[in-house]
Structure 1
Amino acid sequence: MALAQILSACTPEEPERPETYGCTEMEAPRIEFGELLGLYRGMPTELLTDGYLEGVVISSDGEGNIFGSIYLQDRAQDPRYGVALKTDLVGSGALYPPGTRVRLFLDGLYLGKQDFGYAIGTVREVFGNPVLDRLPALATSQRLIPGCTDPVPVSPRAVYADGLDSTLVHTLVRIEDVEVAAEYKGKTYAEEGVETLVPLSGCTGTPLGLVNSGYADFRDQLLPGGSGAATGILLGKAPDYHLLLRYASDLEMTSPPCTERYPPVSSQHLLISEIADPDNEPGARFIEIYNSGESAIDLKGWSLLRYTNANTEPGRPADLSGMRIEPGSTLVFSADPDTFLATYGMSPDAVLPPNGPADSNGDDTLLLMDPFGEVVDIFGVPGEDGTGTTHEFEDGGAIRRPGVLKANPIFDPSEWLIYNDSGGNGTENQPKSAPGDFSPGSHPAGA
């Protein structure tokens, strides 16, 4: 991914310190962030307005890790929108310190995308195609006008790595409970002159990246070995979010490593609650797990496995690391998220590979394994083709009876309501159709 802070070889002109806009109302109309971003048309879009955008500066190039952009968000706390202003201005952190309320005059500028977030700048053509470019330094100081008040404290949005979403891109976030990947601990932030992407992960296992410039003042400092919080500008999109630091102090990792703070756990309260093989739509298959306990369960190290037909060896495990399941809640997994959404009117909680645990055609064995390699819950019998047995759910489904609140590592058909297209062996000859005959995300069924 091309990132905004890559250093250019050019030497921009030095602007004078911009005048403040005063404390009085202006004749030009104020354009709200939401209104502005709604003007984007999928390519650099010219802004034909004499209005201005008012926001708060959240970035700084003071330690050299950010170049070519000034990041703004709509308010100092709990922002709803963020945008990058592409600029050649060097030393913006001194002219517009974080917390400075500014007005950006928009007439003739262009709205586009950068690092999967919205950005404003000028435009140039590359092989006949318009490309968003940086605003010259002098023009930046003429268009970006600071307010008359002192900078205000900016509070980053506190979030966990598994809670990141696209609405936070180009805003200031503080990601809790993260650590540097083991192979990078003790290495420098970046190689000199080379942009470096350092892998981070949440303590639940959710991955993300730390973007470090090879020209940052702290590039030769050593990355921390513990865990803690990382503050910065959020870039990217799921599942490849990146964090752009402003200062070395934005990385606060003085706590012990995640493995010491959050050791893997097993639980009998995590169980398979529903499996679907709809007669009318194979793409609407899913598997659901349920937490019957009173505490959230971190799924780091947990996995779902599928024994296909009579195979005695499972397929590749589906790793559930990076997810957490709240008490009394479910997680729903699909192998075909588009069809799942079109069928049930909701998205699955996670997508698993085709031909895996979320894509069974009704004659397989499915099991839930804890971080220690122990089978916690199972549906079916490994090594036994399910056709014509107590665990066939072809063209139907299997629902855990509401009274079953603990997992069982040994398959017990009496714990299940099982439907298929043939019946027998304690199953019901009742093919099931999606969406009406299934209840993904709700257990007990219909609750």
Structure 2
Amino acid sequence: MKNIFYFFAFLLLNSCEPEEFSIPVPDRIETEMVSNSKIDVIKNILLQSGETIYEFPLEDNTVVEGYVISSDETGNFYKSLIIQDKIENPTCGVEILLDKNDLFTLYNPGRKIYLKLAGLAISQNNGNFFLGYLNLSEVVSIPESLIHQHLIRSLQTEEIQPKKIDIDDFDLFKINTFVQLENVQFSLDELGKSYAGEIFDQYSGEREIIQCNNKLSAFVSTSSFANFRSHIVPNGTGTISGILRKDYYGEKYVIVLNNPSYLNFNSESRCDPVYFNCQLSKENNKNILFFENFEEIKNAKELTEKGWINENIFLGNGKFERKVSDGNAFMRISAYGTGENTLEAWLVSPKIDATLKENSQLSFQTRANFDNAKLLSVWISTNFEGNITSADWEQLDVKISVGPRGGTNIHFVSSGQISLSCLQKSFVIGFKYVGSDPSKTTTYDLDQILITSD
């Protein structure tokens, strides 16, 4: 029995020869690889080809260098690596599709890499250029077993310096580069929400941010598989550093974070709009001062005859239109298909006389469809005399419907009861829509406008 034991021990020891199994050793010698092209050049090759996909020949010796700016450590990126051309002040970036998880262990942010293009294919989707392997008519991930043939790691790792820009500086050339926005905050509607853990976040969560110095908005996009998806977005204002991308539909710009530490909201102050505010009465209002459900209005002429003003500030064709669905009439507005880069449309109510009226309140209903930005707001004026731009307007704090990205809503959403009790004079209500085709085109339906008083 003892001899059998020694025999098996001998087999075990001799089966563990160092030649058969070895522990991976980190790179210790710098690669001799050198680049002979640039990222923006290979993007131009695709554009010059006039094709949707360009495949680099197997004999192509083009090599580009770049610096890793993405990390999949938190799960906010999946099987892709994003590189840009410079440590700071980058001019362009590109996404590389890789069939491998935990890329951050080899290709950490700041890591310099060399990319051999022979046999790879490049394509783009709304300014997002990406590289991979050509499979029939699409670009797919590079198989894990072949990654080492195309990606060569340098020993060099640098600290990437985000490029400080404003939201109005966003353009296609900055997609897939590391940027920083200063003096930003999450919009009031987003406070209390998680990054991507709400019931309506199917694949990703998009949370609107506002830049205080220009009041422009963008979105922070977070994968529903990120390990910080359930974290609540911060209050206050500060800086956001992340990778500029386009959303899944290619309609709007988004910032994608490697992890939440890239948000530095060190100020508790905010730059929210100053809303018109009255003390909300607890009494039940019974008298109707004004009501409109658009059932009796059949065309633009009848709308004007009832005292409404429907105007496009920049004299474009995009205006509110009367629609009927399932026997219900309402007003609809959308920038979609208008071709108007800046569309500002107003629907202004007839003058409403609240003289000697007490505890007046406003309510209405909205329905958002194909939602890609919050574009509708509601305002009040007491000195409106027919000219929208010359009147003084105060914004109302109302609830506006939020819709699905790729479809329509069935139900209307109530605005809630907005108190106008401190107004005992004539006023008008203005519904303001600011959109842009094709980037900001949310469709809104408006109905059941009601103002009551005691």
Answering whether residue 36 of structure 2 is matched by residue 47 of structure 1, we say: no
The offset of 1:47, in angstroms, is 1.3
- SS of the aligned residue for 2:394 comes to coil
1:98-150 deviation per Cα after TM superposition (whole angstroms, max 9, x unaligned)? 1111101100100111463111111223xxxx11211112322331111132x
- 1:309, 1:365 within 8 Å by CA — same for their partners in 2? no
Whole-angstrom distance in 2 between the partners of 1:353 and 1:42: 36
**1:78 aligns to what?**
89
Q: Letter of the 1:183 partner, please give it.
A: D
Match of 1:140 among 147, 151, 170: 147
- 1:231, 1:250 within 8 Å by CA — same for their partners in 2? yes
The offset of 1:21, in angstroms, is 7.7
Answering whether residue 345 of structure 2 is matched by residue 351 of structure 1, we say: no
The offset of 1:350, in angstroms, is 5.5
Whole-angstrom distance in 2 between the partners of 1:336 and 1:39: 39
Match of 2:124 among 86, 105, 113: 113
**1:400 aligns to what?**
none
Whole-angstrom distance in 1 between the partners of 2:27 and 2:182: 38
- SS of the aligned residue for 2:40 comes to helix
- SS of the aligned residue for 1:249 comes to helix
1:312-339 deviation per Cα after TM superposition (whole angstroms, max 9, x unaligned)? 6432575xxxxxxxxxxxxxx57489xx
The offset of 1:85, in angstroms, is 0.4
Runs of 5+ unmatched residues, structure 2:
1-23, 276-302, 319-338, 348-385, 396-454
Kindly report the root-mean-square deviation, in angstroms, between the aligned alpha carbons of the 2 structures: 3.7
**1:165 aligns to what?**
171
Whole-angstrom distance in 2 between the partners of 1:131 and 1:20: 37
The offset of 1:354, in angstroms, is 8.3
- 2:76, 2:222 within 8 Å by CA — same for their partners in 1? yes
Answering whether residue 195 of structure 2 is matched by residue 208 of structure 1, we say: no
Whole-angstrom distance in 1 between the partners of 2:388 and 2:138: 50
Distance 1:18 1:244, change over 3 A: farther
Whole-angstrom distance in 2 between the partners of 1:172 and 1:66: 14
Answering whether residue 119 of structure 2 is matched by residue 97 of structure 1, we say: no
Q: Letter of the 1:96 partner, please give it.
A: Y
Match of 1:367 among 367, 389, 408: 389
Distance 1:350 1:112, change over 3 A: closer
The offset of 1:201, in angstroms, is 2.6
Q: Letter of the 1:121 partner, please give it.
A: G
Distance 1:131 1:21, change over 3 A: farther
Answering whether residue 238 of structure 2 is matched by residue 233 of structure 1, we say: no
Q: Letter of the 2:204 partner, please give it.
A: T
Distance 1:39 1:316, change over 3 A: same
Q: Letter of the 1:314 partner, please give it.
A: I
1:214-249 deviation per Cα after TM superposition (whole angstroms, max 9, x unaligned)? 221212211112222222111118971111110111
Equivalences for residues 161-200 of structure 1 within 5 A:
161-191=167-197, 194-200=202-208
**1:255 aligns to what?**
267
Equivalences for residues 274-293 of structure 1 within 5 A:
none
Q: Letter of the 2:197 partner, please give it.
A: E
Whole-angstrom distance in 1 between the partners of 2:31 and 2:317: 55
Runs of 5+ unmatched residues, structure 1:
1-15, 265-307, 319-332, 338-347, 357-363, 374-447
Equivalences for residues 331-346 of structure 1 within 5 A:
335=316
1:265-311 deviation per Cα after TM superposition (whole angstroms, max 9, x unaligned)? xxxxxxxxxxxxxxxxxxxxxxxxxxxxxxxxxxxxxxxxxxx9999
Whole-angstrom distance in 2 between the partners of 1:335 and 1:21: 63
Whole-angstrom distance in 1 between the partners of 2:177 and 2:391: 38
The offset of 1:70, in angstroms, is 0.3
Answering whether residue 336 of structure 2 is matched by residue 314 of structure 1, we say: no
Distance 1:97 1:25, change over 3 A: closer
1:392-412 deviation per Cα after TM superposition (whole angstroms, max 9, x unaligned)? xxxxxxxxxxxxxxxxxxxxx
Match of 2:30 among 16, 22, 31: 22
Match of 1:220 among 227, 230, 234: 230
TM-score under structure 2 length normalisation: 0.54
**1:391 aligns to what?**
none
**1:37 aligns to what?**
43
Q: Letter of the 1:243 partner, please give it.
A: I
- 1:115, 1:235 within 8 Å by CA — same for their partners in 2? no
Match of 2:158 among 134, 137, 152: 152
Distance 1:311 1:162, change over 3 A: farther
- Larger Rg over CA atoms: 2
- SS of the aligned residue for 1:121 comes to strand
- 2:312, 2:344 within 8 Å by CA — same for their partners in 1? no
**2:398 aligns to what?**
none
**1:273 aligns to what?**
none
TM-score under structure 1 length normalisation: 0.55
Q: Letter of the 2:127 partner, please give it.
A: F
